[in-house]
Chains A and B, each alone.
Chain A
Amino acid sequence: EADIYQTPRYLVIGTGKKITLECSQTMGHDKMYWYQQDPGMELHLIHYSYGVNSTEKGDLSSESTVSRIRTEHFPLTLESARPSHTSQYLCASSGESSYNEQFFGPGTRLTVL
């Protein structure tokens, strides 16, 4: 079944740790996105990719980095996590439909102590 997956779903870590949030999709979509969402607030685009070897920064400045070595995989890395990174991180992908509809993963809830 075509879908988009994120792991882990929940992560609690200490300050200074390096973390990688995984995102994979089985829909063959070229475009992929990372959003950050705080409780009661709108989603903010932090990274996106048009395809393999393409990565761009989004509207919201983020200390995280991303890579796109394979079409289906779009991991996000924080080299040194801080409490200010505590948030929900949502991954999405879209194909070539005229609506450019984005399909979202279940999200990763990150807490940095």
Chain B
Amino acid sequence: KNQVEQSPQSLIILEGKNCTLQCNYTVSPFSNLRWYKQDTGRGPVSLTIMTFSENTKSNGRYTATLDADTKQSSLHITASQLSDSASYICVVSDRGSTLGRLYFGRGTQLTVWP
């Protein structure tokens, strides 16, 4: 069964600190992995997309890593800001269908305190 598991479920950090969010998946055949940021009451917004051959991708203070062998990914946030408070969702796409089906994790709820 294709699944995406994220940890931790929730995380509280102080402003300025770094944090790392984890994602494990069993989706096969693998196409790509994305990290989305979802603010409360809003739709998800893409942060990074990585294919099988990419193992690191950065977007400002966000750095995603991918280990396709162990089927693990992480999202590292550097020097956190209050605006980073949101749900971070790991999404894996398969290449077994024309639709390019997406498999969503439940997200990690990050809260940044001043």
CB proximity of B47 to chain A, nearest CB, Å: 12
Interface residues of A in 50-66 (CB under 8 A from B): 50
* Chain A residue at smallest Cβ distance from B10: A40
A27 proximal to B (CB < 8 A): no
Residues of B within 8 Å of A, CB-based: how many? 24
Residues of B close to A106: CB separation below 8 A: 41-43
Residues of A close to B34: CB separation below 8 A: 99, 101
A90 proximal to B (CB < 8 A): yes
Task: Check B93–A100 contact: CB distance below 8 A.
Answer: yes
Residues of A close to B100: CB separation below 8 A: 94, 100
Task: Check B104–A43 contact: CB distance below 8 A.
Answer: yes
Cα–Cα distance between A24 and B35 once the two chains are bound (Å): 24
Residues of A close to B89: CB separation below 8 A: 42-43
Task: Check B41–A102 contact: CB distance below 8 A.
Answer: no
B85 proximal to A (CB < 8 A): no
On B, residues with C-beta under 8 Å from A are 4, 31-32, 34, 41-46, 49, 51, 89, 93, 98-102, 104-107, 109
Would you mind naming 14 contact pairs between A and B with Cβ atoms under 8 Å apart? A6-B43, A40-B106, A42-B107, A43-B104, A45-B101, A48-B99, A90-B43, A94-B100, A99-B34, A99-B49, A104-B43, A106-B43, A107-B41, A109-B41
